[in-house]
Amino acid sequence: MKTGLYLFYHDLRLEDNQTLRRLSSQVDRLILAYCPLHTLTVPSRAIYNAREQGPARTEFVEQTLHHLGQALAPYHHSLCCIDNLKTLDELVGVHDITHLGVGHQHGWDERMALAHIKDRYKAIELIQDHDHTLFTLAQLPGPVDELPSTFSQFRKAVESELSVDEPLAAPTQLAPSVPVRQNLYLQDDASTSVLTPWFAQSAAHALENYFATEAPSRYKETRNALQGQHFSTALSPWLANGALSARLMLSKLRNYEAQHGANESTYWIYFELLWREYFQWLAIKQGKQLYCFAGANSAKPQTSFYAQRYQAWCQGNTPYALVNALMHELNTTGWMSNRGRQIVASCFVNELNLDWRYGAAYFERMLIDYDSASNYGNWQYIAGVGADPRGGRHFNLAKQQQQFDPDGEFISRWQGEASQSDIDYQDYTGWPQQGVTHE
């Protein structure tokens, strides 16, 4: 009797899931589990509690798991939960697991967790595929260790040489389920939701609803806005947790272009998917360097850590009204526009002179669309230690406010008035500064 165990993590879907299909076809019975892999090992980044997440991010994951559970019901399957090695050991031992399916990972902690699993269960056959990216490792134009040092080089290579496979439909059937004790119970209580209405829907509905509008045809003109209806695709949360595959999103984009015509804006959606793709493979190439202060470079940024400045930034209590409004939005909803992320990250690094890793870690805690590769890759980009030939980005905050919130509507909506208190009433160790008082 062959028994398979599938670990869902950043692939919370049935569509375009080659790993699940392969596992199900090779076993007589099947257990499906949600397993946040980073909880199985000691985190490599100890500057924060890796399991501590903001309420919006927690709710979004639970909501997605609820939708996945509904999709599994017709297959007579349900999800169980594995969030520690003891539970994993029990499932493997009690049910005599012979095959283990789990998608390839790009984050360092997740890759270390998989290496630990491989070593721990040597007799179990491991089944893996690349379900989180547009391309597989074998499709890349060269070895991942030789990945181009800039996005432009990568884009030119893949656009001229590669085509993206069509996404797979959901399987027609799965191997029979096995009853387990660790069933995942999720309370579906919308009355206490902190998610905005757009993010309170399923991935399938969000994908259909966006491409049912004309917004893709003007995406390039609106993508830098801070707010508004369909100014962004706003599909990144489902891409991040895998409820939506990048291949399926691209397929939907191509269908839209076939019906409505392709233009620079629809191309730019593909362009952004390629940026995401580049960061995924760059994370593989860099390994743990993705989370290091100097990144892949030898020169460290001229920044440090100031406890008061960091707390002021997190709480939206800085001297910069637009930054404060953006942080209030993040803390309330778990979301922020792409332009907003660049603005607050630039402020963090350049105005507050803080260690970029702490800003990246705070985003990790709060963002509903947190993706390890994209998050840390983008922060490296701003800090000048990543894939940016120009050595970082420093935004003029006054100019950004005038350009993207000239009437102060966004600042007013999110109560982003500039703080009048001294940003440095404590030094970098948290001790009060001489001659500065603070009530």
The residues pairing with 126 across neighbouring beta strands, listed in sequence order, are: 100
Phi, psi of 79 (to 5 degrees): -95, 140
User: Above 80 in pLDDT, residue 408?
Assistant: yes
Question: CA 13, CA 225: separation in Å to the nearest integer?
Answer: 30
Check whether 19 is labelled as a binding-site residue: no
Question: CA 365, CA 353: separation in Å to the nearest integer?
Answer: 21
- 187: exposed, middle or buried (C-beta count within 10 Å: 0-12, 13-18, 19+)? exposed
- Three-state DSSP class for 127? strand
Check whether 232 is labelled as a binding-site residue: yes
- Average the pLDDT over 273-288 and give the result: 96
- Three-state DSSP class for 32? strand
- Average the pLDDT over 209-215 and give the result: 98
Which tens digits make up the pLDDT trace of 81-123?
998 899 999 999 999 999 999 999 999 999 999 999 999 999 9
Check whether 369 is labelled as a binding-site residue: yes
Q: Where in the chain are the domains? A: 3-132, 133-165+200-286, 307-413
Domains 133-165+200-286 and 307-413 share a fold: no
- Average the pLDDT over 296-310 and give the result: 85
Angle at 345 between CA 341 and CA 349, to 5 degrees: 175
At the fourth CATH level, the homologous superfamily of domain 3-132 is: HUPs (3.40.50.620)
Tokens of 92: 């493997």
Which of 297, 302, 291, 305 is CA-nearest to residue 385?
A: 297
Supply the DSSP symbol for 235.
-
User: Above 80 in pLDDT, residue 419?
Assistant: no
Beta carbons within 10 angstroms of residue 419's beta carbon: 16
User: Above 50 in pLDDT, residue 214?
Assistant: yes
Element (H, E) at 29: strand 29-34
Check whether 234 is labelled as a binding-site residue: yes
Check whether 225 is labelled as a binding-site residue: no
Check whether 358 is labelled as a binding-site residue: no
The class (CATH top level) of 307-413 is mainly alpha
Q: Are 376 and 341 in contact (CB under 8 A)?
A: no
Which tens digits make up the pLDDT trace of 351-365?
999 999 999 999 999
Q: What is the mean pLDDT of the chain?
A: 91
Q: Which pLDDT score is estimated for 192?
A: 77
Decide if domain 133-165+200-286 falls under CATH 3.40.605.10. Answer: no
Question: CA 31, CA 130: separation in Å to the nearest integer?
Answer: 21
The residues pairing with 354 across neighbouring beta strands, listed in sequence order, are: 304
User: Above 70 in pLDDT, residue 422?
Assistant: no
User: Above 50 in pLDDT, residue 144?
Assistant: yes
Q: Are 47 and 358 in contact (CB under 8 A)?
A: yes
Q: Which pLDDT score is estimated for 182?
A: 66
Q: Are 283 and 373 in contact (CB under 8 A)?
A: yes
User: Above 70 in pLDDT, residue 430?
Assistant: no
Check whether 233 is labelled as a binding-site residue: yes
Which tens digits make up the pLDDT trace of 225-264?
999 999 999 999 999 999 999 999 999 999 999 999 999 9
Which tens digits make up the pLDDT trace of 123-132?
999 999 999 9
